[in-house]
Structure 1
Amino acid sequence: MKLLRLALTIIFLGLYSFSFSQTRAELERRKAQLNKDIEMINSSLQKTSTDKKVTLKELNALKAQIRLREEKIKTINSEVRLLDVEINQNVNNIRSLQNQLDQLKKDYAAMIRFAQKNQGAYSKLMYVFAAQDFNQAYKRLKYLQQFSEYRIKQAKYIDETQNALKGKVNSLNKNKNEKSNLLVDQQKEKKVLDQAEDKQSKVVKSLTSQERKLRQDLSQKQRAAAQLDRAIRAAIEREIALAKKKAEEEARAAAAKARAEGKEAPATTSTSRTSVLAATPEAAKLSAGFVSNRGKLPWPVANGVITESYGTQKIGNITKDNNGWTIRTNTSASVRAVFEGTVSRIVEIAGKNVVMIRHGEFFTIYQNLKSISVSAGQKVTTKQTIGTVGSDEDGVSEIHFELWKGMETQNPGSWLAN
């Protein structure tokens, strides 16, 4: 029973370490991605900071940098907490293994003393022949065999326990070194974060002092956003009208066929203006697939950092509304469809190319494309390249992405993969 309990303990320790390594690996991957994003935003920030004139793009880049560093610090804290749990567990495991090793050695020593003590009194052969009958002699012989096998097993488990103990001690030392390195990294990130927050305060103060100029810049952006909003709504209205016309034609055709066959015409169901977008089996399937992938849709670019989030943004005393995400990415990065669908419209708004893709009753919008590799009416697949992102005069590459359900905007954060 002791040997079985020991074997189960060693197996459990192995499985426990494996589960921890999986979680640690996920955190390490997330931290590596954050480092990559921070490096990209830092490079972009250097471009927007070359001019002495403070700009909104510099402020947005600083906000993104701060958010990424805060997330990295949280990731480091999660790693430290995991290591603390693992360190405590390893300490307990070492104590448990040491106690078991001491007990195994004590039991083994007792067996050796017993064997030495009784070796001179009579030999194994005499012990067997001294039996009263053949049955007892056989049992004594089996006992001697089992006693010998048990001694061998005890020696084997002592060796295995010593190796397990040594492994846990090494793991503990490794955990302590990793924790020490993480704490150093954490302090470094906090210092850089403080510097970034201080710089952000200065930029906000500078922009606020130039409120008139800031309002002009934001007003220009809002006009472009309003123009995009009108174009999107007009395109969706057109899609609704076409879908409604098609549904009505199909209903009339079904009714005419029923009358010709002497049957009762199928009942027509009333649908809302936007739900008619999913009236056909193909559109309904696309809509259902889009919904089932909520939170798992790929980003419109392979690598990128959000510089403007969905909703109302506040800069000093000025507020700005955003119907989607503005994502900063690499120069000439490929822009891809986040889900299968049909290219509904391609337009140019405020000098920027815009692609609109329909996914049943959902629409995705991709603004600021330098080149476009699809055409209106073309069917696209998930992650298919639809063009490349454009850059401004400072070399900053950003794509504006929006997601609509019918006539209502959606927060991309609820739909795209985290």
Structure 2
Amino acid sequence: MKFFKSGLFLFLLILLGAVKTYAQSSSELKKQREQLTQQLEKLNRDFEETSKNKRSTLKQLETIKAQISLREEKIKNISSGIRLLDNQISDNTNTVHSLQSQLDQLKKEYAAMVLFAFRNQSAYNKLMFIFVAKDFNQAYKRLKYLQQIGSYRQRQAAYISGTEKDLNHKIVELDKNKKEKSTLLQDQEKEKQTLGKEKNTQAQVVVDLSKHQKQIKQEQAATQRKLSKINRAIAEAIRKAIEEDNRRIAAANAAAAEKARAENRPAPVSVRKAPAKTSDVLSTTPEAAKLSSDFLGNRGRLPWPVANMVAVTHEYGVYYIEGIKDENKGINIKTESGASVRSVFEGEVIQVYNVEGTYLVVVRHGGYLTAYSNLKSVSVSKGQKVSTKQTLGIAATDSTSGDTEIGFEVYKGQSDMNPRQWLTPQ
């Protein structure tokens, strides 16, 4: 019986741990759904605002694509929530059956004890049970046995009461799980219907845009020209940083060699050499190497360059707009008007450029760099040290479309990297 009680305790302990894990996962999924809903609401307001324009624009197409992407992500989130609830319902159903079986067994054992106690309830029988003992030691043990039976019966009654409470709690939880699943299934169906409408709207916008191919291509060409200038400016900033590092290394080598000659000894073998790979040249000092290590250690946990992110309108890599191939070396982040743009990590501002009326800020983090483009104003200057989340400037708002959007890029030396892999998941 002692083994049975220990087993029951262990079972309930594991069960509580599993419930806690499910609760945490469910809470995280719910939080993500709330964030996605907020982003969708902001995008919907933006799209309604841009839809007042009689003619469809590329910004409208970008907004509706972002809406569709977020809507699909929300549907996936709901599907994950439904799968989680299915697992909970299955586990809780098994737990209810197990607790019911244990309760039946406890009641059966308790009934047997009550019957035994009833048949042997007279004081005469109890005394005879004690007095027929062979010696005093056995008589004492029989007395203790009778006392333990009464105590054990009380504990069994408490176990039965506790198991009944656990069973009722699990039944209530099971009903709650089923209701939550029903609600999620309804939400999922609504989201799918909305997604279908958004895809129809996207198709209509594409049709409308196809009627104005010439003007659309002009807009794309203007955007591409500005993007090319930004890319060249970033490349120039990296090149200058490389040249500065190389000059510093050469100066250190020359100084070490001159000192060795003055002291009439061979040049030290520890003199640094300029790295052969451009991706490595930005980690030449111990301080820069440590900063690089710290930056790398925060991969996937860096804060977003804007506090209020509405949506990512362009992802990293190759993409197509109206059949025209393009490539993004970073991501485009839609935010709110007047939003502050902030550094995602501590470092040093190595360049501030004016690109067609908006600013580009490049920050160095040891062997890594981050670039922030489309700022209407800046609050930092070249050579300035910045801390994590320190404001670099204010995001620019397009006067025609009313959209506020910045570009964000991450580099290791001259190699561009996917910023999504570095930022905290949204």
Q: Do both share a fold (TM > 0.5)?
A: yes
Structure 1 residue runs without a partner (length 5+): none
Partner of 2:408, secondary structure, is strand
**Aligned-pair distance for 1:124?**
2.7
Structure 2 residue runs without a partner (length 5+): none
Equivalents in 1 of 2:159, 2:252: separation in Å? 78
Runs of 4+ in structure 1 displaced over 6 angstroms?
A: none
1:18 to 17, 20, 32: 20
1:357 to 348, 355, 363: 363
Q: What amino acid maps onto 2:376 in structure 1?
A: K
1:287 to 284, 289, 292: 292
Does the 8 A contact of 2:99 with 2:163 survive in 1?
yes
Q: What amino acid maps onto 2:329 in structure 1?
A: N
**Aligned-pair distance for 1:235?**
1.8
* TM-score normalized with structure 2 length: 0.94
Does the 8 A contact of 2:274 with 2:281 survive in 1?
no
Q: What amino acid maps onto 1:271 in structure 2?
A: P
1:302 to 289, 307, 331: 307
Equivalents in 2 of 1:182, 1:164: separation in Å? 27
Does the 8 A contact of 1:127 with 1:140 survive in 2?
yes
Partner of 1:213, secondary structure, is helix
**Aligned-pair distance for 1:179?**
0.5
Partner of 1:383, secondary structure, is coil
Deviations 1:95-148 (A, max 9, x none): 000000001001000100111112248343343233221111111011111111
Aligned to 1:389: 395
Does the 8 A contact of 1:313 with 1:320 survive in 2?
yes
Does the 8 A contact of 2:246 with 2:274 survive in 1?
no
Deviations 1:76-113 (A, max 9, x none): 00000010011011111000000000010010001001
**Aligned-pair distance for 1:323?**
1.9
1:28 to 13, 19, 30: 30
* TM-score normalized with structure 1 length: 0.96
**Aligned-pair distance for 1:11?**
1.9
Equivalents in 1 of 2:110, 2:241: separation in Å? 84
Does the 8 A contact of 1:308 with 1:327 survive in 2?
yes
Equivalents in 2 of 1:31, 1:6: separation in Å? 37
Aligned to 1:118: 120
Does the 8 A contact of 1:87 with 1:175 survive in 2?
yes
Aligned to 1:269: 273
Aligned to 2:424: 417
Q: After the TM superposition, which of the residue ranges 366-375 and 135-144 deviates more from structure 2?
A: 366-375
Q: What amino acid maps onto 2:367 in structure 1?
A: E
Does the 8 A contact of 2:256 with 2:268 survive in 1?
yes
Does the 8 A contact of 1:301 with 1:334 survive in 2?
yes
Does the 8 A contact of 1:240 with 1:273 survive in 2?
no
The alignment status of 1:327 with 2:329, answered yes or no, reads: no
**Aligned-pair distance for 1:260?**
3.1
Structure 2 counterparts to residues 218-229 of structure 1, below 5 A: 218-229=220-231
**Aligned-pair distance for 1:301?**
0.9
Does the 8 A contact of 1:296 with 1:417 survive in 2?
yes
Does the 8 A contact of 2:249 with 2:273 survive in 1?
no
Aligned to 1:408: 415
Aligned to 1:108: 110
**Aligned-pair distance for 1:387?**
1.6
Partner of 1:265, secondary structure, is coil
